[in-house]
Structure 1
Amino acid sequence: MAVFRETVPRTLEEKLFELNWSVVLLLTLLGAVGIGMLYSAAEGAWNPWASRHLVRFIAGMSIMMAVALFPPRFWMGMAYPIYLGSLILLVGVELFGETIGGAQRWLEIGPVRGQPSEIMKIALVLALARFYHDLPQDRISSPFGLLVPAFLIGAPAALIFMQPDLGTTVLLVVTGGAIVFLAGLSWKVIVGGAIAAAFAIPAFIRFGLEPYQRARIMTFLNPEADPLGAGYHVNQSMIALGSGGLTGRGYVEGTQTQLNFLPEKQTDFIFTILGEEFGLIGGLAVLALYAMVLANAVAIATSCKSVFLRLTVMGIATTFALYVFINVGMVTGMLPVVGVPLPLVSYGGTVMMAVLFGFGLVLGAHIHRNADPPRGAGLFG
């Protein structure tokens, strides 16, 4: 296989100059929001969350910059090994994982503890982007073009669902489906898949979910049915958001937060703190930051010449958008509570590193947007 190389090699300084600094600034602002909200969540203290969030964010931004400087051919070559490694880690979670809060999602290797499911979100994007880069356009809707992506998506989704982690499973499947769609899947297959899903989803909810997972869905439909049990989280979140009004109660002045009525305030429900203390205006301002990040990512994707870079960027953007959509939806009562954090704002090291690694790929796509490696390299070329 011929390997793509830049016609005129660029220096490190030239690549740094070509970085999309608008994206870097927007991500930095989101990280700063996270530090501020975690400081408030700890009742005006840097420990235990804000200081660690700051250190992790600085480390993650350094990783992001490093990732951006590698050429596309490097990430194309690493796509399948990263996916395979992530899949092995997920199997390791099933065999040796640490159980926290009733879920076996964490794997501890020496001094490092993390969630391999977060790594898989990036690995899946890279693997699918590589697969479709190599696959001829006329084979996308062929049996081979359907079965391989189905396995790439289904294998990790099944392992993550068994942890159990419904939120990440949904996010992974939707992201994978979005990449398959963007690759150019036939509308006949799309319509057929939609009809099959319409029949399969109710059966899955009835027979495939654990009782507590079904209870979350019923709570979403009627949160007042069990206000002190399954509905407690979302009810407290709604009270906090409502008390914030238009402009909020003031920084570190949120009663639901400071009096510890709000559960999981540093992770899943951190957007609620923002809404209580800064009101509707503050919440919309942060959502505007997310929207600007996504707009920049889509613009970068459309500027890329290669299928691999376009699908990689759109896959990362889809994952990022789903994080925000699901998190804000669940804390506002519009979606069931499924445990999805708010990217760069919620506390959590593995999620932050995965998100910033992903945006390193996005920034790298912008730098190397004119690169177009040869297609048809095969599965392991």
Structure 2
Amino acid sequence: MTVSALTRPGERDRLIVKFGEVDWVFGLTLFLIAGSGALMLFSIAGSSWDPWAAKHLARFGLCFAMMIMLAMVDLRVWFALAYPIYGLGLLLLLAVEAVGDVRLGAQRWLSVGGFSFQPSEVMKLGIVLALARYYHGASADRARLSWWLLVPAAMIGVPVLLVAHQPDLGTAMLIAMTGAAIVVLAGLSWRIIIAGITAALVAIPPFVMFVMHDYQRKRVLTFLDPENDPSGSGYHILQSMIALGSGGLLGKGYGLGSQSQLNFLPEKQTDFIFATLAEEFGFVGCVTVLAFYAAVIFMGLRTAYVSHSHFGRLAAAGVMATFTLYVLINGAMVMGLAPVVGVPMPMLSYGGTVMLTVMIGFGLVQSVRVHRYSEVTSGKGSLV
């Protein structure tokens, strides 16, 4: 009499052990962030679960369950799928160029059977996995400084150009900066790092003046002087700064934020939800939520540190780099320290696409933790 593999005692025991290896404190912290987001969405909807708070919690619950399932996936499976996922991301980005939906002047979406999505979200994970696999088999000399650097540069550059052409400057920046972070963590020479930073700083002015679209250029100029057009292009930043400042130390109180409740604050449920939090809970509330984010980042990087495989280390660190960039860019944006680029605060802002992407990435991080003693073998670091 045969028994399915799922019901064999050995397999059950191994699955139980894997569940025990999941970082449940990490998961609890994610619950605290998502719960804080639900509280703010409930508040700005006039103390109603509709239209945002209930959906936010439901999405998080489904995504959390998916994260745990992905944590059970062997790290060697992630390794095998690294290049295929990256290749799929490239094909989808090319498909956007050919048949993508145009909304608000941007061609970023694909529609399949009534469901629309942004392929650039696939690339956020694809670039992490592909670079982690490439550097897993690369020698220290190749990672430090050699002509082989052109390979990861092309792997990063092609999707960045495709996403920037949509145009989606915020996502293009995330992909580029995540890729650069992995290349640096893999052991890139400091001479190249300094030269790259210098070249980027030199290229910014001509890029802004001659490459950016008019509305993107206007965002940058507005960031430099938002009061130049307070009722137009500078409205978002000025209203956000008013909300931040009016919250003071302890905030105006839950449900009492005038900028959000009276709809002065634009995109209050997505890009500028952190400003809503600041207005109602003040400096103390902001620091508390940022402490949750810091804890998630610390635990994720700790997982990368303890992994026995180079692929696992770079994959976990790459996911956490993307998450960190989300937090830093959105935080800087709502405080007027960076141009408005449409990057939400992950887990706090309303929106299913970003939450799904982030939680899949966290599934990879937890897989690295669960299988941290596994050795991922690869004879080559090439793209074949």
Normalising by structure 2, report the TM-score: 0.94
Residue aligning to 1:43: 46
Q: What amino acid does structure 2 have at the position aligned with 1:140?
A: A
Q: Which one of the candidate residues 113, 116, 121 is aligned to 1:118?
A: 121
1:136/1:376 contact within 8 Å kept: no
2:305/2:313 contact within 8 Å kept: yes
Q: What amino acid does structure 1 have at the position aligned with 2:152?
A: P
1:133/1:376 contact within 8 Å kept: no
**SS, match of residue 140 in structure 1:** helix
**Partners of 1:156 and 1:32 in 2: CA distance:** 34
The C-alpha deviation readout for 1:282-308, integer Å capped at 9, x for no partner, is: 111000000000111111111111110
Gap runs ≥5 in structure 2:
1-9
Residue aligning to 2:306: 303
Q: What amino acid does structure 2 have at the position aligned with 1:179?
A: I
1:35/1:50 contact within 8 Å kept: yes
Question: Given the alignment of the two structures, is residue 25 of structure 1 paired with residue 14 of structure 2, yes or no?
Answer: no
Residue aligning to 1:170: 173
Q: Which one of the candidate residues 202, 210, 221 is aligned to 2:213?
A: 210
**SS, match of residue 338 in structure 2:** coil
Q: Tell me: CA distance 1:198–1:237, structure 2 relative to 1, closer, same or farther (3 Å).
A: closer
1:167/1:339 contact within 8 Å kept: yes
Alignment of 1:142-153 (within 5 A): 143-153=146-156
Q: What is the deviation of 1:199?
A: 2.2
Question: Given the alignment of the two structures, is residue 54 of structure 1 paired with residue 54 of structure 2, yes or no?
Answer: no
Q: What is the deviation of 1:28?
A: 1.0
Q: What is the deviation of 1:127?
A: 0.5
Q: What is the deviation of 1:187?
A: 2.2
Q: What is the deviation of 1:75?
A: 0.2
Alignment of 1:2-151 (within 5 A): 11-141=14-144, 143-151=146-154
Residue aligning to 2:332: 329
Question: Given the alignment of the two structures, is residue 253 of structure 1 paired with residue 256 of structure 2, yes or no?
Answer: yes
**SS, match of residue 227 in structure 2:** coil
Q: What amino acid does structure 1 have at the position aligned with 2:107?
A: Q
2:134/2:383 contact within 8 Å kept: no
Q: What amino acid does structure 1 have at the position aligned with 2:278?
A: G
Gap runs ≥5 in structure 1:
1-7
Q: What amino acid does structure 2 have at the position aligned with 1:343?
A: P
**SS, match of residue 149 in structure 2:** helix
Residue aligning to 2:268: 265
Residue aligning to 1:223: 226
Normalising by structure 1, report the TM-score: 0.94
Q: What is the deviation of 1:339?
A: 0.7
Q: What is the deviation of 1:311?
A: 0.5
User: Structure 1 vs Structure 2: percent identity of aligned residues?
Assistant: 51
**SS, match of residue 228 in structure 2:** coil
CA-based RMSD: 1.6
Of 186-195 and 291-300, the range deviating more from structure 2:
186-195
**Partners of 2:285 and 2:223 in 1: CA distance:** 25
Q: What is the deviation of 1:188?
A: 2.5
Q: Which one of the candidate residues 152, 155, 158 is aligned to 1:155?
A: 158
Q: What is the deviation of 1:329?
A: 0.6
Q: What is the deviation of 1:143?
A: 4.7
2:63/2:359 contact within 8 Å kept: yes
The C-alpha deviation readout for 1:74-132, integer Å capped at 9, x for no partner, is: 00000010011111111222222223333222222113222221221111000000000
Residue aligning to 2:290: 287
